């Protein structure tokens, strides 16, 4: 982790539990339009989401930690950036095996978000400061 991560941000890393690593890597690679690298170590299989010098995270095969359907509206909500692509990214969710829980909507001066279930059943928010119609 970079010094920027450990000293400049409250959230420094995340592990997102998944049932099927290939399916989850394809989902996040396509929705976020990023590279997802499969790795292994310490007896674990995981896939690191491209993040450059900023905060990052990975997909970890832990099916027992994926929320049950009854719990999808509980717990922390992780926001993932799709700057300028919020409508496109949200539309891709269902094509890739996920579900849109809350369509794209304003979060006031903080931009726009949609709340989705990923291909594994995890609830996450897709976030953009602007919608494409506003970007110039």
The predicted-structure confidence for 3-31, as pLDDT tens digits, reads as follows 555 566 778 899 999 999 999 999 999 99
Domains of the chain: 3-128 (3.10.180.10)
User: Which is nearest to 96 in space by CA: 14, 17, 32, 16?
Assistant: 32
Q: How far is CA 48 from CA 16, 29, 95, in A?
A: 10, 10, 22
Give me the pLDDT at residue 58, please: 96
Strand partners of residue 105: 113
Give me the pLDDT at residue 74, please: 85
Give me the pLDDT at residue 80, please: 95
Give me the pLDDT at residue 5, please: 52
Least confident of 79-88, 100-109, 124-133: 124-133
The full 3-state SS of the chain, as one line of letters, equals CCHHHHHHCCCCEEEEEECCHHHHHHHHHHHHCCCEEEEEECCEEEEEECCCCCCEEEEEECHHHCCCHHHCCCCCCEEEECCCCHHHHHHHHHHCCCEEEEEEEECHHHCEEEEEECCCCCEEEEEECCCCCCCC
Q: What pLDDT band is residue 1 in, cutting at 50, 70 and 90?
A: very low
Q: Say yes or no to pLDDT of 135 above 60.
A: no
Least confident of 40-44, 71-75, 105-109, 125-129: 71-75
Give me the pLDDT at residue 6, please: 52
pLDDT higher at 120 or 52: 120
Q: Say yes or no to pLDDT of 73 above 60.
A: yes
């Amino acid at each position: 982790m970079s010094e920027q991560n450990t000293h400049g941000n409250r959230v420094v890393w995340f592990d997102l539990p998944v049932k099927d690593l290939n399916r989850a890597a394809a989902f996040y690679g396509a929705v976020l339009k990023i590279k997802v690298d499969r790795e292994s170590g310490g007896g674990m299989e995981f896939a690191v989401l491209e993040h450059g010098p900023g905060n990052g995270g990975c997909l970890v095969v832990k099916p027992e930690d994926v929320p049950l359907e009854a719990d999808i509206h509980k717990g922390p909500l992780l926001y993932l950036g799709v700057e300028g692509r919020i409508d496109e990214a949200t539309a891709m969710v269902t094509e890739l095996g996920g579900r849109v829980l809350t369509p794209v909507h304003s979060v006031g001066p903080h931009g726009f978000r949609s709340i989705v279930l990923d291909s594994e059943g995890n609830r996450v928010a897709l976030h953009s400061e602007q919608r494409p119609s506003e970007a110039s």
